[in-house]
Amino acid sequence: MEPLIKTAPPGPNARAILKRDAQVISHSMARQYPLVLRNASGVNVWDVDDNRYLDFTAGIAVMNVGWNHPDVVHAIEQQIKILSHGAFLSFYSDIPVIFAERLTDLLPSPLNQVYLSNSGAESVEAAMKLARYRTKRKYFISFYGGFHGRTYGALSLTTTKVVHRKGFGPFLPVIHVPFPNPYRPCDGELGATAEGTTLNILEKVFRKEVSPEEVAAVFVEPIQGEGGYIVPPKAFLGELRSICDENGILLVLDEVQSGCYRTGTFLASEQFGVTPDIVCLSKAIGGGLPLGVTISSEEVMTWPPGSHASTFAGNAVACAAGTAVVDIMKEPGFGDHVVQMGEYLLKGLREMQQDYEIIGDVRGRGLMSAMELVRSRVTKEPAAEERAAIILHAFKSGLTLLPAGESAIRFCPPLTIEKEDVDTGLEILRASIKTVALTRTKQ
């Protein structure tokens, strides 16, 4: 279904809720535009004024199998009738075990031990504690532009925006190094490969800042999410894996946003030929309910009973939803469809790039794609204001989008999207870019 804007947003019902929201909800959240959701289905969402939007956000890469997938809804309805909270911390129940068994079927060997939690940040916190327990080391390494969550351990790893960290230090001992960005090679070394520069810096860190013998783990997103949907050179993760192996460091892959077939394979790291020691999942795995997962091997996950747990971890309803999600993703052709739609979307974005100088770069894997907006293709100066204007114009035209990085627009629609929906989204996006580009020309 194409978007249908009946009332210019925000409409009267939305404005009333926005006013109430401002009175009681913490202002720490940064909303992109005044969309007040009422209901959703498939690849469409409706606001409280009955406007219909084509969704290119999947609820921040959560609704991978589509909004309100009937199988997920049915699983939730059936489970909540018999057991909503199983107190999995203290008792046993079947549904979390079923979920873990079916999930590990999708993971490479030897990843077969599952710790259940409630969010991406919690899954990262668990990974940090597990890495320290396993290695008896205290330092961590992560990458500039990486986003791992806002709780203290996860925030210590995160360097996407200074506003996330300002006023909250001191943090855990984390050393940050540049992430290899082919469009913006680090340190201004335009003649060097982004991958080589990053690995050289990491080796320098080991010589001058911290001994590798004190590093418990390296945390990395296979494709950076909040940092700009940045796809590293293909050899990067393999080289990083080798460095970790040489120094007894655990490699932790944060696949909270890139996992669950977002890139066409269950884990994005599969496309780079790398198996982590620990992997973190959340977002899409719960089908819209809070669910986090930290997975490793029996060799790594050796912490004893009582060392880490959570009251709501293994929630029965969330695990029922997660089981339904996994079963949907296991259906034949699910990943192939993501690859096909991703290629189709990228083709359309690259054609648009040829027509508008403001589009400096187009990149992505599967349905995890982005276009980076610049004021000049020569200087690559970020066009952050123009991006905000484009996203707002698209919203008012019936398309939901989200930013990423300094000036990128991310495209992470539900993985069930079809070509006609992609075409509609591209048409609205093109019109929005054209409008903003013309406005900029007149100024």
The pLDDT assigned to 38 comes to 98
Final residue of a domain: which of 329, 349, 376?
329
The pLDDT assigned to 188 comes to 46
Does one domain contain both 261 and 300? yes
The pLDDT assigned to 427 comes to 98
Does one domain contain both 191 and 263? yes
Does any domain span residue 178?
yes
Does any domain span residue 7?
no
The pLDDT assigned to 356 comes to 96
CATH code of residue 392:
3.90.1150.10
Does one domain contain both 296 and 235? yes
pTM: 0.95
Final residue of a domain: which of 307, 329, 351?
329
**Gap between the Cα atoms of 187 and 190, Å rounded:** 8
> 10 preceded by cis ω (within 30°)?
yes
The pLDDT assigned to 195 comes to 67
Provide the angle, in degrees to the nearest 10, between the axes of the packed helices 70-82 and 316-329.
150
**Gap between the Cα atoms of 153 and 276, Å rounded:** 20
Buried-state track 379-402, b at ≥16 Cβ within 10 A, e below 16: eeebbeebbbbbbbbbbbbbbbbb
Does any domain span residue 5?
no
Does one domain contain both 274 and 377? no
The pLDDT assigned to 186 comes to 65
Does one domain contain both 412 and 438? yes
Final residue of a domain: which of 268, 295, 329?
329
Count of domains forming the chain: 2
Block mean pLDDT (10 aa), the chain, length 443: 90 98 95 96 98 98 98 98 96 97 97 98 98 98 97 97 94 96 70 69 93 98 97 94 97 98 98 97 98 98 96 97 98 98 98 97 98 96 97 98 98 98 98 88 62
DSSP 187: G
Does any domain span residue 61?
no
Instruction: Supply the range of the domain harboring residue 89.
Output: 70-329
Does any domain span residue 4?
no
